[in-house]
Homo-oligomer: A and B are copies of this chain.
Amino acid sequence: MINVSILGYGTIGSGVFDILDKNSHIITKRNGEEIHVKSVLDLRDFKGDPVESVLVHDFSEIENDDEVQIVVETMGGLHPAYDFVKACLEKGKSVCTSNKALVAAFGPELLSIAEKKNCNFLFEASVGGGIPIIRPLKTSLAPDEILEISGILNGTTNYILTEMSEKGSDFETVLKDAQDKGYAEKDPSADIEGYDTCRKIAILTSLAYGRQVGFEDIYTEGITKITERDINYAKKLGAKIKIFGSGKKDGDRISAMVAPKLITQEHPLYSVDGVFNAILVKGNMAGDIMFYGQGAGKHATASAVVSDIMEASKHLGINIKTIWEPEKLGLVPFEESISKFFVRLSGTAQDNSAKAGKAFGSLTPVDAGYSDEFAFITEAMTEGTFRKAAEETGNVINKIRIDA
C-alpha cells in the first residue's frame, strides 16, 4: 500500500481524493499496489465530507509522517506551497503538483532536490489540465529536437473568444457571462491578461529546451483589446482569433511569446473552441503532433495528478531524470521577433493607403465594410520594425499577429 497526503482540499485536491476513491479498483489493478490517502491538509473543516476522518490542520503532521511516501500539492500560489513542497522533497517524499505558478518559478530547484533525494517532482497537471503533455514531451518526444511548442493553454480566454465569434457579443458581455457560469474568476486578470498562459508556456519551453525560461522574460499580451470588429475581420479572412503561448527555435536561438493570433482553417488548432485546450509540438523527426482535451476542470486536472501519483508510486526511490537546468535560456529579444501583422488604422482607405504602404511596406488590404478605418495584413517583419511603422502612422487602432 502506498500512502499519499494531499495538501489543499479545494477543487483539484478534492478531485484527486474523489478519483482515488471512485476509480480505486482500476487504479490498484494498474498500479500493482493500492494507493491510500492517509491525510489531507486544509485549514477548513469539512463536516460530513468523506475527507473529515483524514483531515489535518498542521503541515508538520504530514512532513513528519514517515509512512507518507507521496504528497500531492493542490494549494496553488507560491507560499506556503513552495515551502511545503521543498520540505517534503527534502524528506525524500515525492511530490505531484498542479501548481503552474510554483513550477514556473521554482521548477529547476525542486527537480534538483528530488534528484538528490532519489524521489520525484512531477507536474503533469500544471499545463493543459487533463491533456497529457509534460510526460509525452519528456518521453515520447525525447528523440526529437523540438522546433516549436505552442498552444491554446487557457480555457477561459478560449471560451471568451469563441463566444465573441459565435454570438457576436462584445468582450465585456462575454466576460460577465463567463464569470456567471464559473468559467472565469471574479478577478479575471490572470486569464485575460495572458499571465496564466505565460506560466504554462514558460514551463513547456523550459522542458522543450532543457533550460529555465523565465516567465517574466516572455512578452505577454492578453485579449482585452480584441473587439467585435477584430472578430468580424477574422471571419472575413476565414480565420479565428486565438490566444497562443508559443516557444520556438529561431535559427540557433529560442523565442517565446504570449499573444492573440489570427489562424486560418489550415492550422491544426483552428477547431479548438470553447473551454478546450490544445498543444502543438513540432519535432524535427516526429513532425507535427497535437494534443487536445479539457485544459481545466476538477476531474480532468485531478486525473493528471493521479497519473503522476501512479508514476511516483512505481518509482519509489528512483529519480526520473528531467532536464531543466536553472541557468536562464537567453530568449530572442522581443524587438527581433518576426510575425506578419493584421493592422487597423483609423480613417478611410483613401486617407491611409499611401501612408500605410510607406510605413509598413507591401500590404494586403482587408475590407470588412467599415468605412471609417483601413485594415491590412503586412509581410513578415520584426516587432521593432512594426513598432516604428506604427509610430510613423500614429493611428493604429489594433494589431493582431499572424505566424510568419
Contact = CB atoms under 8 A, between A and B. Distances in A.
Interface stretch (A57-65, A141-149, A182-190, A356-364): A141-149
Interface string A340-379: 0000000000000000000000000000000000000000
A52 B352 CA distance: 65
A306 interface: yes
A380 to B, nearest CB: 26
Nearest to A15: B285
B321 A32 contact: yes
B285 A19 contact: yes
Contacts of A304: 140, 286
A148 to B, nearest CB: 14
Contacts of A130: 283, 285-287, 289
Nearest to A299: B285
Interface centre among A26, A132, A143 (most CB of B within 10 A): A143
A292 interface: yes
A297 interface: yes
A144 B286 contact: no
A243 interface: no
A383 interface: no
A293 interface: yes
A241 B144 CA distance: 33
Contacts of A285: 19, 22-23, 130, 299-300, 302-303, 306
Interface residues of A, number: 52
Contact of A29 (B132, B141, B210): B210
A310 B135 contact: no
Interface in A108-165: 124, 130-132, 135-136, 139-145
A268 interface: yes
A135 B139 contact: yes
Nearest to A281: B293
Given A143-B307, A286-B130, A268 B297 contact: no
Given A271-B271, A291-B290, A291-B291, A136 B143 contact: no
B132 A289 contact: yes
A290 B290 contact: yes
Given A136-B135, A210-B29, A293 B284 contact: no
Interface of A: 19, 22-23, 26-27, 29-32, 124, 130-132, 135-136, 139-145, 210, 268, 270-271, 278, 283-294, 297, 299-300, 302-304, 306-307, 310-311, 314, 321, 323
